[in-house]
Amino acid sequence: MKHQVRMLATLTSMGLLLFSGSAVAKKDKASDDLKGKKGTVQVIVQFNGPMTDAKLAKVHNKASAKKGTLKNIRSTVVEIDAATAVDLADDSDIDFISIDREVRAAQVAASPDSAGGLFPVNFGFDGKGIGIAVLDSGLRTEVEDVKSRIVYSESFVGGPDWKDSYGHGSFVGSMISGDGAKSKGLYPGIARGAHLINLRVLDKDGSGTDSAVIAAIQRAIELRTTYNIRVMNISLGRPVRESFTTDPLCRAVEAAWRAGIVVVVAAGNFGRTEATQGYGTITSPGNSPFVITVGAMRTNSTVTRADDVMTTYSSKGPTQIDRIVKPDLVAPGNRIVSSDTPGDSTLYKEAKSNRVSKDYLRLNGTSMAAPIVSAAAALLLQKTPTLTPDQVKARLMRTATKTFPIQTTVVDPTVNKTFVLNYDIFTVGAGYLDIEAALRSTELSSGAALSPTAAPNPSDGTVTLVTGSNVVWGNNIIWGSNIIWGSNTLRGNNIIWGSNIIWGSNTVAAYNIIWGSNIIWGSNVTWGSNIIWGTTTGLGPMSVTLNGDPQ
């Protein structure tokens, strides 16, 4: 199906062409970041067809060390000379070779004051019997709120220790199924009856690798039947380096999706990227069209939705390289309180102002929005166990609230900047998660729920949402594009459509401006306390002033 959106094209002076003729740039079989490397590197080698001993031997004979295999994406992980790896990519048995890249947890600094629990409400379902794989920094049995929910633990970060030393994983796990016992029910999870499969992929600093995440995904697939794993939460990511069709992380989450697991991924926290007004900053594997990619809303610490607005840091689409429409939907992700490791995690030690009590922290980020959607998916699956991942995704998007202001202006005096948020399809996706509406719905989609591609047309100034022939959005009036994304979010906007960065034909140059600088991906700014600070001083959805807390 194609849905056209009229746009106002405003050329900027960034030196790139406005449009390209193809939505997906053609790539060779060695990733761009590999070509620039010298010396020994750790790489993921993906094979064409079955991963035979003969194919493995070709690679292992040229490698200095073997690091393991990733059967779910027909790959081997090796240490090898970078130049040798680039030459090896020309072999007909090789599908793609990329660096085993770093991934990071997708949270940002938080405010010190307490605002009360988000979801003490009882939805009538608690996720009982549903297994949720949490790929994160681990879970600790010492965390009172979740210790009874953990049914399996394994570490993919060097050594057998699966316990959470960073604090991010325990926070996420408690958001999903914590009972809120240490807070006397003030800070419970949403799917309090679900059980957790603890797959540690991040170290004490919140950092990991592609191969660790992929190995954990492989294990979740293997354990799917044993623990009824129906949902997977991935609150981490890294920059998009190539098309989702060759990105090893994207291939791994697609394998999980096809195995019957709903995969929920954080969108990323790069919405303040000035070069593109935050557009084109979705991280991998959130750029996969299969998964549910989640952006973060700010609740203003109230129960009503009327004053809720987008956070300034939530990453926006379309995705780099493929121009996939992302995020798929948004959920609360700002100033969230949840249980953490008791006193000795990295986050607890370093983020002292984030402490709500000795057992609870407050964090912000799309990392916090994703587990709310994961928990919602568990409730849907408890109610209707026969739902497929595509049906869960479609129902959550179909029932999402689509009432937003056209635009929010956010002033942050601490960095002397004004941020303008447009509530378009690349900012809020299909809308704001509505768990009650999703549980009330009985509509069943048929076909895939792949996120569409945004295709610009330079001849008439339109943008087309392109979906495949077997995609649910085009099947009938119930699941049509207007119903899923809403007419307001599809309206053309000169800030979105006029950006040379988003639609530039020179994808390498566009990539460099967004991801090629330490200003954007560097630890000082990305994880620093001074980038995303401010508090609301009023409920007005059109104009917000920030002066102290991350928003």
Catalytically active residues, by annotation: 136, 168, 367
- Helix/strand/coil for 549: coil
Give CA–CA dist 364/334, Å, rounded: 4
Q: Is the peptide bond before 327 cis (omega within 30 degrees of 0)?
A: yes
Give CA–CA dist 101/283, Å, rounded: 13
Q: Output phi, psi for 72, to 5 deg.
A: -70, -20
Give CA–CA dist 208/100, Å, rounded: 10
Tokens 């195995």 correspond to 259
Give CA–CA dist 437/434, Å, rounded: 5
Residue from 242, 252, 159, 245 nearest 211 by CA: 252
* 339, β-bridge pairs: 360
| Long-range CB contact pairs, 411-417, < 8 A, 24+ | 411/543, 411/544, 411/545, 411/546, 412/312, 412/533, 412/534, 412/545, 412/546, 412/547, 412/551, 413/534, 413/545, 413/546, 413/547, 414/530, 414/533, 414/534, 414/546, 414/547, 414/548, 415/530, 415/531, 415/533
List the structure tokens of 190: 């949403």
- Is residue 369 within 8 Å of residue 378, measured between CB atoms? no
Q: Output phi, psi for 344, to 5 deg.
A: -125, 10
